[in-house]
Amino acid sequence: MKFEITILGSSSATPIFHRNPTSQILNVNEKLLMIDCGEGTQQQMLRFGIKYHKIDYIFISHLHGDHYFGLVGLISSMHLNGRKKPLYLFAPPQIQEILELQFKHSATVIKFPIEYYPIQNDKAETILETNDVSVETIILNHRIPTTGFLFKEKQRLRRINKEVVEKLNIPEEYYALIKKGIDFKDELGNIHKAIDLTTEADAPKSYAYCSDTVADGSYLKQLEEVDLLYHETTFMHDMVDRAKETFHTTSVEAAIIAKNCVVKKLMIGHFSARYRDLSPLLMEAKEIFPETYLAIEGETFMI
Amino acid sequence: MKFEITILGSSSATPIFHRNPTSQILNVNEKLLMIDCGEGTQQQMLRFGIKYHKIDYIFISHLHGDHYFGLVGLISSMHLNGRKKPLYLFAPPQIQEILELQFKHSATVIKFPIEYYPIQNDKAETILETNDVSVETIILNHRIPTTGFLFKEKQRLRRINKEVVEKLNIPEEYYALIKKGIDFKDELGNIHKAIDLTTEADAPKSYAYCSDTVADGSYLKQLEEVDLLYHETTFMHDMVDRAKETFHTTSVEAAIIAKNCVVKKLMIGHFSARYRDLSPLLMEAKEIFPETYLAIEGETFMI
């Protein structure tokens, strides 16, 4: 099952040095979930070949413009492209008023249902369960109500043991049933237990998205042992006072969180406009947590 | 005096084929006026090296998103870049509510004054007069209230007649006064009339911006003999029924307007997403009005 993240933007506040504001696409088994939607996100989708119609769920962390100014344009384009199926929008409650005001003044009636899920910011909760994934909010600590998101794959199906099933000449069309735990009865009436025809599934993966936040608070316990943690890293650590003042995180702080939470990998992003070259941020984080990567636009990370 | 237009976007409705939605920059004597501001305009400004702080006036033709969704992001970036001086915003009245709602929900207090000039859509009027330029609205005929803009240079100063002033040994520091019509008195007390020391000024130039509109109505008389007419050309002429239905214009209609209004040059833009290659639109218009040009992003037209 595919479980991978593509970066559409990683700039904080303003676009600069060809870096767009924040947006990411999580591909779960070929269904696309969008996380944040800064201005120009739809242009980035065109650039990287991501289709509008594959997105059914959008998650907005907070209402600073660099995380959602592209949303109204993306929804308008979905509308103009003839979308009919619902769009599920998990966002701060005020997003509905903001979008509807703009649709009203352009005399636009969006032709597909927008199902608003107003995110409550008082406690972490599960906001979505599909066959493939569950999504919990993570309560962050920023200047305005802000939530991160924890995406957990559902338990995967067991894997077919090729050697065994081929020896028994079990036709391929039965594989899907066997993976689901249904035993196979051969022509002679012999029962072959599904568990003997399969091997253990890969462990389900998890992805935590944390932007924007000061580097402390109750959210840390949700990050424990995640496969990939995306954590905002607006500043180098010499700017730690500025980071605290603006409720942001430094490269060192993000790396310490990754280490303390025993995550497998750390991806850093939301870079300040003061850094043209990002390698010093990466180096500073890697000194503490070697498995650190930069959120580079257009790159896809398998989780 | 500089009077030239730079194209930042020329796509209609949605960004496509690396074409951004509408925005243009009119450079009048090194002061920049922005006309429309589709999503991604600030990214285009970065790309083409246009500085935020040079813009004091923004004109928004109407509240379809492809003409203004980039405005809130641009204003936010001006704010984050420390702007202090006022921004004059000529736009439909509802823009104030739209912007202020978004600033409120991000807890942002913009640090510079935004002077809202709510455009009335019942009759054409002069909305701005500076030392260099006057701006009139043009009442267009679209699905929602829409205005074009007619920019007219002020009468330029007469030009110094180099041959004459050099023969008389008139010091250069007097040239600016002479251009303004002040006579020059030499050491012997002889008066040299400013009119004899100068030649006639270049005729003031004019630029008319018309987007979006169906190709008829009272606005046509304001376009007479303009130096450059930008007219939307969403469709080829085989789509004329669709153009009328959606209150847009075809290439043939734009060219006929240019011809009938005896404009010097025509620039076409606001191209539908159905046209990857724009040359057929250009050819169709040029057959009727040879001095037709495409609005290509990043290109600057001297008027």
Model confidence pLDDT, tens digit, residues B205-242: 999 999 899 998 789 999 999 999 999 999 999 999 99
Residues B193 and B289 in one domain: no
pLDDT at A294: 97
Residue type, A190: N
CB contact under 8 A, B43 and A39: yes
Residues A146 and A191 in one domain: no
Work out the pLDDT band at A15, boundaries 50, 70, 90: confident
Instruction: Check if the beta carbon of residue A236 is closer than 8 Å to that of residue A275.
Output: yes
Find the catalytic residue in B36, B66, B132, B227.
B66
A191 touching chain B per CB within 8 A? no
Q: Report CA-CA distances (Å) from A249 to A137, A140, A141, A269, B79.
A: 19, 12, 11, 10, 22
Determine what percent of chain B falls in helix, strand and coil, rounding each to the nearest 5.
Answer: 30, 30, 40
Tell me which of B199, B227, B262 is where a domain ends. B199
Inform me whether the pLDDT recorded for A157 exceeds 80. yes
Residues B67 and B141 in one domain: yes
Tell me which of A167, A199, A231 is where a domain ends. A199
Instruction: Check if the beta carbon of residue A203 is closer than 8 Å to that of residue A183.
Output: no
For chain B, give the percent of residues with pLDDT over 90.
89
What is the DSSP secondary-structure string of B99-113?
HHHHHHHTT---SS-
A89-98, A209-218, B114-123 — which is least confidently predicted?
A: A209-218
Instruction: Determine the distance in angstroms separating the CA of A80 from the nearest CA of chain B, rounded to an integer.
Output: 8
Instruction: Check if the beta carbon of residue B28 is closer than 8 Å to that of residue A31.
Output: no
Tokens encoding A121: 């910011």
pLDDT at B188: 87
Work out the pLDDT band at B143, boundaries 50, 70, 90: very high
Instruction: Determine the distance in angstroms separating the CA of A246 from the nearest CA of chain B, rounded to an integer.
Output: 13
Residues A175 and A97 in one domain: no
**Domain extent at residue A151:** 3-156+202-302
Q: Is B216 a catalytic residue?
A: no
pLDDT at B155: 86
Residues A79 and A166 in one domain: no
DSSP B80: H
Pairing mode, if any, of strands B159-160 and B198-199?
Answer: antiparallel
**What does the pLDDT average to over A223-241?**
97
Q: How many CA atoms does the CB half-sphere of B141 hold within 13 Å?
A: 12
Return the sign of the alpha-carbon dihedral for residues B290, B296, B302, B303: positive
Distance CA B287, CA A1 (A): 57
Q: Supply φ then ψ for residue A186, to 5 degrees.
A: -85, 180
Residues B272 and B261 in one domain: yes
Long-range residue pairs from A129-133, CB within 8 A, at least 24 positions apart, any chain: A130/A28, A130/A31, A130/A154, A132/A1, A132/A28, A132/A29, A132/A31, A133/A28, A133/A33
Residues B263 and B117 in one domain: yes
A93 touching chain B per CB within 8 A? no
Mean pLDDT value across chain A: 95
Furthest CA-CA distance within chain B: 75
Name which of B16, B64, B73 is nearest A39 (Cβ-Cβ). Answer: B73
Residues A188 and A276 in one domain: no
Measuring CA to CA, which residue among A219, A223, A220, A203 is closest to residue A153? A203
**Structure ipTM:** 0.90
Tokens encoding B37: 């501001």
Instruction: Check if the beta carbon of residue A265 is closer than 8 Å to that of residue A294.
Output: no
Name which of B70, B77, B98 is nearest A102 (Cβ-Cβ). Answer: B98
Distance CA B78, CA A110 (A): 31
